[in-house]
Structure 1
């Protein structure tokens, strides 16, 4: 009996000593992990810079299906943010500073606990070296939890390492897996739409389109408006020589809508016209490949471009529909003149007649397409 009392006394003293030891440890932490991602720096930077992509690689999100994210109008670049709630956490992320293709600084609040994220991107052999650093201070509860799991450096470091590995796998497959198919001549119907116009350099087109599409979708949600289809782009000017691209991000509507003067959103209307349709299945970064195949098809089949028509890209399946870039669908419509019907020629009857149609150019899903 006396031995049992001594045992509990020693256990009690041990627990008190352990608690004092844990509580007197510094709560400040500074954790850094790096990994070479097998993709060009601009692709890796743009992917991490957009909060809508974090669900595809962050370990703590992928392992907890109770996360529910809220994305505002701006999700990439300086001032971008997102917020979430789950079964055990509630928080938000905000981008404080961005240096294009070089670094990103962010602030995270998770269950009222504040920390900072710092990202650095550097070209290296085999791809891009990504360095992810986090600084912050633990509260008492987090101190205790971290202690029994090997310390905050081990816990957070392991999470960063797994997330960076997920990022590498995601980009390796999701970005590089795509297919392009030239569908042929189709008639694109006309209709009403709302648009927002922008001029920019070619290197900024993809990023600006993402921003403006998100802004247009937010405009419709905020004003409780219904679209009459998927968002699309009208290219008004594509001057490679002077690096000047002019385009409108559009959302189709059923009827004409009057917009108050002074708004950067305008109304528009298109008419029906003949086009060559090409479909890209995969990330938007492969649109140039799709364009080249479409233009080559026009040349090989002796079609004539109709320069008075509108060159359009329709985002039939986008990131609002599915998270995986490899499953996005972009339809490209290039205006052409319909071929003249051949004149009828009287011929002698034939027992059989075989007509060979020209093959459509296509690409099967491949990383080397």
Structure 2
């Protein structure tokens, strides 16, 4: 009898001690994980803020093929016969997102995203989770089986790595469309021109386009369209390319800068091709255009006019997947293309 009382007394002491231990545990849980993402701040923010992308990288995967997750502000999933839900309650572009997390294994929690710019091409992404007013029952559960951090911290780390890969992959998406035969209206333009190595010409285009854009702005000259590069000669054997960076104008403009000239592009019949995606895929777009010309027995004009028109300004659309470039290759047409550019030689291979 005494032994039984002794055992019960010990159990009571253990129960009281455990209760005190559980009661004094923090009423809040919070932790965070950080990852450097190989994407500009705005791109990272936009991708994370659209929850339709989340199935590509979160640890909670949808089990229903009928759920298309069309809501960009809410992500739901089914796990162990319980529904989980993450919903965005506030976002501040391009650096901050607040969300609610509801799932049976965890207390109602808040997720917070901070996206900081590290460089023009990288960002620091921090994902934090916090839970407040933890009940005694939940504290007891966590004391035995571990807090949500024990389960979620490794998942957060893995998910941020997957997020990095998913964002980088999304930036590499591109499409090439052969729009078909059409007419280019031509018109006056201001331009600067050079010959440089093929290896160096892309950086040269950026520099020259910036120079002529600055001249247009400083002199308040009205633009009549999108800037473009007009190719004059492409010589892989000598590793050289000659081209002009052009900005169309509404009328003929007499330049006051001896490095910036005025030109007139005649109207011409053309094959139009559109690239949506990074400029790194321009070679593929030119390939597709040349193959279309060959496959459809189209005849290129003697003028050999070939140009790239930049519809999107990367300064305002930082995701390369959203950049739009139009390629025009002049086709034979007696009424328009046989004048003014008879001696113009442009690349017969990919620019």
TM-score (normalizing by structure 1):
0.47
TM-score (normalizing by structure 2):
0.50
When Rg is computed on C-alpha atoms for both structures, the one with the higher figure is 2
